[in-house]
Amino acid sequence: MSDRTLVIGIAGGTASGKSTLTQTLAKHFAGHVTVIQHDSYYKNNDHLPFEARTTLNYDAPTAFDNDLMIEQVKELISGKAVECPTYDYALHTRAKETVRLDPSPILIVEGILIFAEPRLCELCDIKLFVDTDADVRILRRIRRDVVERGRSLESVEAQYLKTVKPMHELYVEPSKRQADMIIPEGGSNLVALDMLVHRIDRVLGLDPNAAPLNAPIFEVDPQSAQTSTND
């Protein structure tokens, strides 16, 4: 097995299926995967009263403590364990507990805005963007936020129109251009999963014909790859 960490970035809009894809890969490569989520690094904001915290914009890159996350991603890549913060969505603040993350051959970095932060994007060897229509995502988000994140239907609607949708259009959607692979519907896309699993097997040396990490599978000559015209 390769002695380097393979960093897989998984981005996409809210409720697009990032966590589902992450869990599918983590299950397949069980014992070889560490997951780090951008959401764990939302700024604390406990200097503000609860009501004020409910009105903040949580969908712009400035909502996160990116410096801390980048530092911890680098630590994991260099083989060291980290104490990852945890986040309380119901209270809109960082929880007291931290979670120890141990380094693994595969590090999955997940979040809506990881490709919108160039320093995080650069650290990813494989960049995946889960692409799911906005109407499907908002339906999923309403259910999730009400059931799991302690929100009312009215608050989900108001937040979606005020910040989630405009920030998606401003930051998340353009960051799709950074992706190596765009995956419609994430974890249920079996063709994409199969291709991914083979690529990961190769770079980790789980495959007997393994190529070294980041070695191109195909050598592309840009000259001959140009589209010919009718001349």
Ligand X SMILES: Nc1ccn([C@@H]2O[C@H](COP(=O)(O)O)[C@@H](O)[C@H]2O)c(=O)n1
Ligand Y SMILES: Nc1ncnc2c1ncn2[C@@H]1O[C@H](COP(=O)(O)OP(=O)(O)O)[C@@H](O)[C@H]1O
Residues annotated within the binding site are 12-19
Nearest to 9 by CA among 83, 85, 88, 118: 118
Of the residues 55, 57, 86, 188, which one makes contact with ligand Y according to CB under 6 A: 188
Q: Which is nearer to ligand X, 14 or 104 (CB)?
A: 14
- Phi, psi of 95, rounded to the nearest 5 degrees: -80, 165
Where would I find the beta strands (DSSP E) of the chain?
Answer: 6-12, 33-37, 82-88, 93-101, 106-110, 126-131, 181-184
What does the binding site for ligand X look like in residue numbers (CB under 6 A)?
A: 14-15, 18, 39, 42, 58-59, 89, 92, 112, 164
Site string for ligand Y, 142-181 (x = CB under 6 A): --x-------------------------------------
Residue 20 is a binding residue for ligand Y (CB under 6 A): yes
Residue 63 DSSP symbol: G
Indicate the pairing of strand 93-101 with strand 82-88. antiparallel
CB of 87 to ligand X, least distance (A): 7
| Residues 137, 62: Cα–Cα separation, whole Å | 23
CB of 215 to ligand Y, least distance (A): 30
Binding site partner of 17, from ligand Y, ligand X, none, Cβ cut-off 5-8 A by kind: ligand Y
The binding site for ligand Y (CB under 6 A) comprises 12, 14-20, 140, 144, 185-188
